[in-house]
A and B are shown apart, each in its own frame.
Chain A
Amino acid sequence: MTTNPTPGGGSMTKRDLIDEVVKIYPRFSGRDAEVIVNAVFDSMTEALARGERIEIRGFGSFVVKHRQAREGRNPKTGAVVPVAAKRVPFFKVGKELKLRVDGKPVPESEREASQGA
């Protein structure tokens, strides 16, 4: 498998996202934008904690998968260690974003604006 980060890609943090929101909505203070952005991700985290799926049209979906308990091994000592059952979050990219990331045109039918909320 050959996966390398895209060369030359920059990065955006939550802080940058908050600043962008303020740029678009100058009537919000930085504090307002922070509360809003945090509320978005907090509500998503809480939904996943309740075992719900999340579907953001045009973006993607998040699901929680269940991993059963298993016997693992300490790779250093070879000792058998029990690994407890756990829930793991997964993201599946939506069609529109999948195409956009790959630099492909997005057909009208996949544009989120045409599909409503």
Chain B
Amino acid sequence: MNDGMPAATKNATMTKADIVERIYEKVGFSKKEASEVVESIFEIIKSRLEHGDKVKISGFGNFVVNQKRPRKGRNPQTGEEIIITGRKVLTFKASQVLKKTINPS
């Protein structure tokens, strides 16, 4: 699939360290301070999601916890019928702004 993206950036991965670098450059904290605050931001989000809250980041997207009901499934190896227990799962819905930004026209 050729979408005109330079090959060099195609497989690059951004990590927390790269975000920390950005904060460090932009805000002028020490690296340690920038790293701490980035860590805190993700921890705040995680603990809210853990409590079943929605997290809505305007311009980026919404993180929502959904309750799944138990359902019947099958062990694909043995064909044995099993009950898949109910569980809570996290889904992310990208905002229109994010979708537009990654699809420049």
Contact = CB atoms under 8 A, between A and B. Distances in A.
Contacts of B37: 21, 25, 36
Contacts of A39: 19, 22-23, 26-27
A97 B56 CA distance: 17
Contact of B65 (A2, A6, A45): A6
B5 A51 contact: yes
B103 A4 contact: no
A117 B18 CA distance: 10
Main secondary structure on A side of the interface with B: mixed
B82 interface: no
A39 B55 CA distance: 17
A80 B9 CA distance: 35
A10 B64 CA distance: 10
B65 A87 contact: no
A40 to B, nearest CB: 6
B58 A102 contact: no
B67 interface: yes
A83 to B, nearest CB: 12
Interface string A42-66: 0111011111111111111010101
Interface of B: 1, 3, 5, 9-20, 22-23, 26-27, 35, 37-38, 40-42, 44-46, 48-61, 63-69, 71, 87-92, 94, 98-99, 101-104
Interface of A: 2-14, 17, 20-21, 24-25, 32, 35-37, 39-41, 43-45, 47-60, 62, 64, 66, 68, 85-91, 93, 96-98, 100-103, 117
